[in-house]
Amino acid sequence: MGFLALKQGRWQNALRYFDKALARDADNSRIYFGKGIAYQGLGKRQAAYDNFYRATYTYDYYSPAYFNLARIDLARGDNLSALAKLDEAASQNGRFAEINALSAATQRRLGDPVQALVAADKAIESDPMNFMAGYERLLALKATGQDASAWEKTWTGYMRDAVQNYLELAVAYGSAGLYDDADAVLARFADNKDASQLHPMVDYFRGYLKELAGHADEAKVFYRAAQKGPAAYTNPHRLEGEAALEAALRAYPQDAHAHLFLGNLLYARGQRKEGFAHWERAVGIDKGLELAWRNVAYGLRFLMKNYKGSYQAYQTAARLDPGDARVLLELDEVAQQLGVPAKKRLARLEEHYETVMQRDDLIARLIDLRLESHDPTKLEATYALLHDHHFHSWEGRYGIHHAWVEVNEELGDLAMEKQDYQSALKHYQQATEYPKNLEVAPRTPDFRAHVYWNLAKVYRAMGDTSAAEGYLKKITAEHYNKIHLGVYYQALAWKALGDEAKYETLLDRLEKEARKRTSGGFEYRGDTAAIGHYLLSLVLREKGDAAGAKAEYEKAIKRNPLAARLAVREAQLDVAKAHQ
């Protein structure tokens, strides 16, 4: 629990847990090491120093404890003592590149670039892409008058001008109290970058570093500059980032961006109420900050379980940035939870069609809502979207293929009504296929009765009894372990083949199963009941009870608009003996 509290930056909580642990095990070096980290977080260097020293008593924490002692010595300006402790750390873990990299920095600060270069090279031998070792080697080459151009190209190459790499290096220097070195690293990254395009955590960290170094006025300059940086994709995750943002808010309590970023960090780290409070503060300060509204909506939805409030906040976010596809997706998810009519949800997605096209999951929602509307005028457009768009489907996700089957079935049914059998055959045949652009592969074996029935139906209408009979026999040959949708199609197939007895037996079995599922028993709730009502609607329709069939169908889609799809999925899982 103590180390979990450390990860969350709850320093006082961590100390309480560690003290309890020490009451039972007073010689545990790991606990003393944890206390050292907690005291460092609280800014109590001497207490941290004492606990790190105590952690050196056993082999397992000897090296990391001395490494952290060296950091504190450097922060105090005692470079010689720091170097001695780094030598102690290396005596037990000399291949840990961070030790030799910090030794290089210490030698540089002692004015010995030759030894700094030796230490940097030793670190690079262990870790050729170590950020600090590479930077120290660059400084040492320049300080000794050597040509550093080739190495500078190598180091900047693996740093990749990536902001997180530079922040990580700056934090490593800052953790040793080398605030000027940390700032120099970030200044190098920020060079020739406009403040409006620079990752804001660069300036927040630079301001914090200046504040730690005792330059409060300079710190404010960077805190103000950070407010100009882009909010998008700024999700700090380091404990040091929390300290920097809190420092910025002490200087500028009305900094909406700092509240947003600190909320992101805290919420992601498990301090959800604290994070949510910062998001609320952000929108209270800047009502036009779309990302903060999205996060408030997210918190209201998942933390507070306030779905109506979440819906309103998502609507605000969507108005502020109609092109934010994630907001549109989550807005529709909440709308579905609240029971917003499908027609209204569909209208919103159609209105923001370009935004929908940014995400496969949004496109899938648009398609499902179109299919649910049963609007013939939308079928061709839906078919074209499924036919032409390349979807990136996760393994085990079959929903988009279900939509492909359904749109082809509906187009085939419309063609059958017009006696356009060639068009019907085309779509019924396509319903049996797994187009590569959907990135969905068939289960093996695959449930085929529902699609084969349509092919049998159209071939019978065309007078091709041989082809029809072939598909009917394929349906009856399928093996089922349970009673589900497949039994319905087998019943229809046996009837078409002239075996009324088997037809009636199977239909009765299916009705019995459907009525059991719709009995209201605890074990038949949720999707199981929805499928039960759907199956019962099929049975009643087949028996000529149109009113009863309609009533059961309405019960099914009230429970789940995709009840028919769920019935197909249930049959597929049985046939394939799969779990997804």
**Rounded distance between C-alpha atoms, residue 550 and residue 63, angstroms:** 75
Question: Is residue 258 over pLDDT 70?
Answer: yes
Question: Is residue 563 over pLDDT 70?
Answer: yes
Count of beta carbons in the 10 Å neighbourhood of residue 437: 14
The helix (run of H) or strand (run of E) holding residue 22 is helix 11-24
**Rounded distance between C-alpha atoms, residue 517 and residue 393, angstroms:** 32
Question: Is residue 161 over pLDDT 90?
Answer: yes
Q: Is residue 521 part of a domain?
A: yes
Q: Is residue 500 part of a domain?
A: yes
Question: Is residue 524 over pLDDT 80?
Answer: no
Q: Is residue 376 part of a domain?
A: no
What pLDDT, on a 0 to 100 scale, did the predictor assign at position 580?
67
Identify which of 453, 455, 501 has the alpha carbon closest to the alpha carbon of residue 476. Answer: 453
Listing DSSP states for 49-99 in one string gives HHHHHHHTTSHHHHHHHHHHHHHHHHHTT-HHHHHHHHHHHHHHHTT-HHH
What pLDDT, on a 0 to 100 scale, did the predictor assign at position 35?
97
Q: How many domains does the chain divide into?
A: 1
Identify which of 398, 451, 431, 446 has the alpha carbon closest to the alpha carbon of residue 572. Answer: 446
Tens digits of per-residue pLDDT, 170-220?
999 999 999 999 999 999 999 999 989 999 999 999 999 999 999 999 999
Q: What number is the average pLDDT over the span 423-441?
A: 97
What pLDDT, on a 0 to 100 scale, did the predictor assign at position 396?
72
Q: What number is the average pLDDT over the span 238-252?
A: 97
Tens digits of per-residue pLDDT, 301-321?
999 999 999 999 999 999 999
The residue range of the domain holding 523 is 477-580
The set of long-range contacts for 111-117, using a CB threshold of 8 Å and a minimum separation of 24, is 113/139, 113/140, 113/143, 113/144, 114/140, 114/144, 116/140, 116/143, 117/141, 117/144
Mean pLDDT score of the chain, rounded to an integer?
A: 96
What pLDDT, on a 0 to 100 scale, did the predictor assign at position 199?
98
Q: Is residue 549 part of a domain?
A: yes
* Confidence bin at 394 (pLDDT 50/70/90): confident
Q: Is residue 524 part of a domain?
A: yes
Question: Is residue 498 over pLDDT 90?
Answer: yes
Tens digits of per-residue pLDDT, 207-244?
999 999 999 999 999 999 999 999 999 999 999 999 99
Q: What number is the average pLDDT over the span 530-545?
A: 97
Tens digits of per-residue pLDDT, 59-90?
999 999 999 999 999 999 999 999 999 999 99
- DSSP classification of residue 393: P
Give the HSE-up count for residue 177: Cα atoms under 13 Å, Cβ half-sphere.
19
Question: Is residue 134 over pLDDT 80?
Answer: yes
* Confidence bin at 398 (pLDDT 50/70/90): confident
> Under 8 Å CB-to-CB from 310, ≥6 apart: which residues?
297, 298, 300, 301, 304, 334
**Rounded distance between C-alpha atoms, residue 354 and residue 338, angstroms:** 25
Q: What number is the average pLDDT over the span 357-385?
A: 96
**Are 67 and 89 spatial neighbours (Cβ–Cβ below 8 Å)?**
yes
**Are 260 and 292 spatial neighbours (Cβ–Cβ below 8 Å)?**
yes
The letter for the amino acid at 147 is D
Q: Is residue 138 part of a domain?
A: no
- The percent of residues in the chain predicted with pLDDT above 70, rounded, is 100
Q: Is residue 512 part of a domain?
A: yes
Q: Is residue 260 part of a domain?
A: no
The helix (run of H) or strand (run of E) holding residue 430 is helix 421-430
